[in-house]
Amino acid sequence: MSLSKVNFADYSTNNNNFLGRKHEYKPSKYRGEFQRDRDRVIHCNSFRRLKHKTQVFIYHEGDHFRTRLTHSLEVSQIARSVARSLNLNEDLCEVLSLAHDLGHTPFGHAGEDALNKCLDGKGIFDHNIQTLRILILLEDVYSSHPGLNLSLNTLDGLLKHNGPISNKKLYEDQIPEIFDYNFNFKTFGSLEAQIASLSDDIAYNCHDIDDGLRANLFSIDELKEINFISNLFSNYDIKKKEKLVRVLLNILVTDLLETSKKKLEKFNFSNIEEVYNSPKAIISFSDKTLEGLDNIRNFLKYKMYEHNFIKKWNNKSEIIISNLYNFYKKNYKKMPNPNKNFSIERNVSDYISGMTDNFAIKIYKGLK
């Protein structure tokens, strides 16, 4: 269905404020522009590799633990549901959700931290910025230009995934090409971008709880020691983790929708420019839920992310990443297809960050 056949809210991302693409393109007869963006992401190599990239647990620990791929799909499902209820652009929410973690290294945040340390002042590595680097520069699909040539609306939403950009120096280092797009770093992204960001928060909090319970890192009774959880579930008989996660998802999505609807009614936007110029985010949770989510994050940090089982793999991950980086830095001729426009350090970090967990382990074992 094309955008013109959908009755979006006036302040949504719609046909009237489609920003185009950097490189020349021909409009599709049967697909809207954000459907095309979604399709390009789904069919790219970086998206497929998310299947074997760590969310919290290494890929071979169990068949039912989340990977970056399943996490991205879950974010997309939540974002589409929220967008539909708010009469916003579901397709844009979907592509932002599916693409938001493309820049992650193997082994999750531990791999990211290790790669950033390896660069040691000769660059930085941030997975959010790497996502843009992949979409603009690294995906090699078209003969006429690098990247996927996604819409400027999509790239703007990914740029401001976490709100306005305060430190432009990070982008100057990792992807200076972003400045060719003339984005306004000081404003919030579209409402669809804000939805994708908070859908990410909902997904990883709920599903990290699910994975933590599955791994027996903590129990439902321990979760109920969190006041927010205890109060939410005072009227529920929760004995199975599936029910707890399902109910929590529903509660968080409902809170996000109801809080955001009230803000939209208060601000009474008439167009998307008023959204961009808003001094604060519009899509948001209630204050009570924000406090509760902080409590959940603190619980997960203590009980899960800093658990000895997880820390053991994180430490091993850092060793693997640093060894791979040092090897390719010293044996640069063994780097496959380095880009002559990038530095040695950037080419090495691009290559390693694109690896899956199992490929990184395989190459690491081959170094011995």
Q: In this structure, which amino acid lies at residue 362?
A: K
- Whether the predicted pLDDT of 50 surpasses 60: yes
pLDDT reported for residue 191: 98
pLDDT reported for residue 4: 45
Q: How many CB atoms lie within 10 A of CB 51?
A: 12
In contact, 103 and 141? CB cutoff 8 Å:
no
Q: What is the DSSP letter of 302?
A: I
* pLDDT tens per residue across span 18-32: 999 999 888 888 999
Question: What superfamily would CATH give domain 18-188+310-367?
Answer: Hypothetical protein af1432 (1.10.3210.10)
- Whether the predicted pLDDT of 240 surpasses 70: no
- In the chain, residues under CATH classification 1.10.3410 are 195-306
Q: How many CB atoms lie within 10 A of CB 210?
A: 20
Query: Which residue from 129, 125, 187 is spatially nearest to 155, judged by alpha carbons?
Result: 129
CB contact set of 294 (below 8 Å; sequence gap of 6+): none
Round to whole Å and give the CA distance between 268 and 296: 33
Round to whole Å and give the CA distance between 207 and 185: 31
pLDDT reported for residue 1: 38
Q: Which residue has the higher pLDDT, 170 or 57?
A: 170
Cα-atom radius of gyration of the chain, to the nearest Å?
Answer: 21
Q: Which CATH number fits domain 195-306: 1.10.287, 1.25.40, 1.10.3410, 1.20.120?
A: 1.10.3410
* pLDDT tens per residue across span 122-142: 889 999 999 999 999 999 999
Round to whole Å and give the CA distance between 42 and 126: 22
pLDDT reported for residue 59: 52
Q: Helix, strand, or coil here: 345?
A: helix
* pLDDT tens per residue across span 62-77: 566 788 999 999 999 9
What is the average pLDDT value for the chain, to the nearest integer? 92
pLDDT reported for residue 238: 65
For residue 90, the surrounding DSSP H or E stretch is helix 90-99
Q: Helix, strand, or coil here: 126?
A: coil
β-strand partners of 54: 67
* pLDDT tens per residue across span 186-220: 999 999 999 999 999 999 999 999 989 988 899 98
pLDDT above 90 covers a percentage of the chain that reads 76
* pLDDT tens per residue across span 330-368: 999 999 999 999 999 999 999 999 999 999 999 999 996
β-strand partners of 21: 151
SS percent in the chain: helix, strand, coil, step 5:
65, 0, 35
Query: Which residue from 126, 172, 175 is spatially nearest to 155, judged by alpha carbons?
Result: 175
- Whether the predicted pLDDT of 2 surpasses 50: no
For residue 242, the surrounding DSSP H or E stretch is helix 241-267
